[in-house]
A and B are shown apart, each in its own frame.
Chain A
Amino acid sequence: MADGVPTWEEVARDHGRFLYNVAYRLAGNDSDAQDLVQEALLRVRKGLERYQPGSLEGWLARIVTNVFLDEVRRRRRRPADALPEDPDWVLPPAPAADQVFTGLSDDVPAALASLPDEFRSAVVLCDVADLPYEEIAESLGVPVGTVRSRIHRGRRLLRNALLSTGETA
């Protein structure tokens, strides 16, 4: 690594696991995640000369998210994935105080995959890649207020999906 700028091989070797995990949470399956990672690494290779030393994993998360959103735009979103028009949909009852999430369920990835792409991108960048809102806004090309809204609504949708699959039952 010279002047804080890693080589392409170092990126793949040292941060590949992180990159793949973000790609997998965005795509929801291994096949698409592998395509995302390969495309992201090509963009990383081209962009390394312009990389400013800083949060490398944040930079990688932004790249793979952009690859994902480009692919989504290319394929055209299915009607079922359209953003909800009504922001005030009914929130199911909150779980009881003793219903603490254990984080071990297979339902979470499925619930995450069921979110509309814009919401999934926002919550993955926040809760999987652990980026601050400002960086998420930059990645998605939207204002910070929009990021805040998408994360909140995405979490509500995720919780509803988990409840509907009996996560807390």
Chain B
Amino acid sequence: VNARPAPDDRLSAYLDGELDAAERADVDGYLAESPEWRAERDAVAYARDALRGLSVHEVPAGFWEGVLSPELTRARARRRSRLPRLVAAATAGVAVAAVVIASLVIPSPDSVTPRVPALSDSHAVRTSVSDEPVSQLAALSMITPYRR
């Protein structure tokens, strides 16, 4: 035996003609059998009729003249469009500055040319006239060419 569900939002959709045929048949059956479903339908129909019965709220006198005035419309549009443009300009400025600073501060890896052999040569010359034993080992670096 299928238990009858409690009244639900299908009732508003029923009143608005928004149910498919199967759902509509279900609701018709519940309404025929259940005082609870009928009471709920009456309750939402009451509110629905109240809203749909409202008269149109008229526009206050003079409102459209102000809204449609070209000066007011342009002023509002300018005011609204100014802020996004300022933000965009500021963002672009910061981005350009960041790129310029980065290009000045951070050296390109390709521009580094190690001068290890030359430095090693000069160091070897200096240490060759010295009696300090560890420094004299620097001359050995001339035997092994520098490779990256």
| Interface residues of A, Cβ cutoff 8 Å to B | 9, 12-13, 16-18, 20-21, 24-25, 30, 33-34, 37-38, 41-42, 45, 91, 94-95, 101-105, 108-109, 111-112, 123-124, 126-128, 132-133, 148-149, 151-156, 158-159, 162, 167
| Residue of A25, A94, A112, A133 with highest tally of chain B CB at under 10 A | A94
Does the CB pair A95–B51 fall under 8 Å?
no
Sampled A-B contacts (21; CB under 8 Å): A12-B64, A18-B56, A25-B54, A38-B67, A42-B76, A94-B39, A94-B42, A101-B49, A104-B53, A108-B51, A123-B51, A124-B51, A128-B51, A133-B16, A148-B13, A149-B9, A151-B12, A156-B44, A158-B47, A158-B51, A159-B47
Residues of A within 8 A of B80 (CB): 42
Does the CB pair A152–B50 fall under 8 Å?
no
Asked if B68 is an interface residue, CB under 8 A from chain A, the answer is yes
- Residue in B closest to A24 when the chains form the complex, CB atoms: B57
Which 10 pairs, one residue from A and one from B, show the smallest C-beta to C-beta distance?
A103-B53, A152-B9, A127-B51, A155-B47, A152-B12, A159-B47, A158-B47, A94-B39, A155-B44, A24-B57
Does the CB pair B42–A30 fall under 8 Å?
no
- Residue in B closest to A97 when the chains form the complex, CB atoms: B42
Asked if B143 is an interface residue, CB under 8 A from chain A, the answer is no
Asked if B58 is an interface residue, CB under 8 A from chain A, the answer is yes
Instruction: Give complex CA distance A153, B7 in Å.
Output: 12
- Separation in Å of the A15 CB from the closest CB of chain B? 12
- Separation in Å of the B38 CB from the closest CB of chain A? 8
On whether A159 and B46 interact (CB within 8 A), knowing A16-B59, A30-B60, the answer reads: yes
Does the CB pair A25–B57 fall under 8 Å?
yes
Does the CB pair B43–A21 fall under 8 Å?
no
Interface size for chain B: under 10, 10 to 19, 20 to 34, or 35 or more residues? 35 or more
Instruction: Give complex CA distance A48, B54 in Å.
Output: 30
- Residue in A closest to B18 when the chains form the complex, CB atoms: A133
Residues of B within 8 A of A126 (CB): 16
- Separation in Å of the B139 CB from the closest CB of chain A? 76
Does the CB pair B16–A103 fall under 8 Å?
no
Residues of A within 8 A of B58 (CB): 17, 20
On whether A127 and B77 interact (CB within 8 A), knowing A17-B59, A30-B60, the answer reads: no
Instruction: Give complex CA distance A71, B60 in Å.
Output: 22
Residues of B within 8 A of A30 (CB): 60
Does the CB pair B43–A156 fall under 8 Å?
yes
On whether A148 and B18 interact (CB within 8 A), knowing A101-B53, A159-B46, A159-B47, the answer reads: yes
Interface string of B80-122 (1 = CB under 8 A from A): 1000000000000000000000000000000000000000000
- Residue in B closest to A112 when the chains form the complex, CB atoms: B51
Does the CB pair B46–A152 fall under 8 Å?
no
On whether A152 and B54 interact (CB within 8 A), knowing A17-B59, A34-B63, A94-B39, the answer reads: no
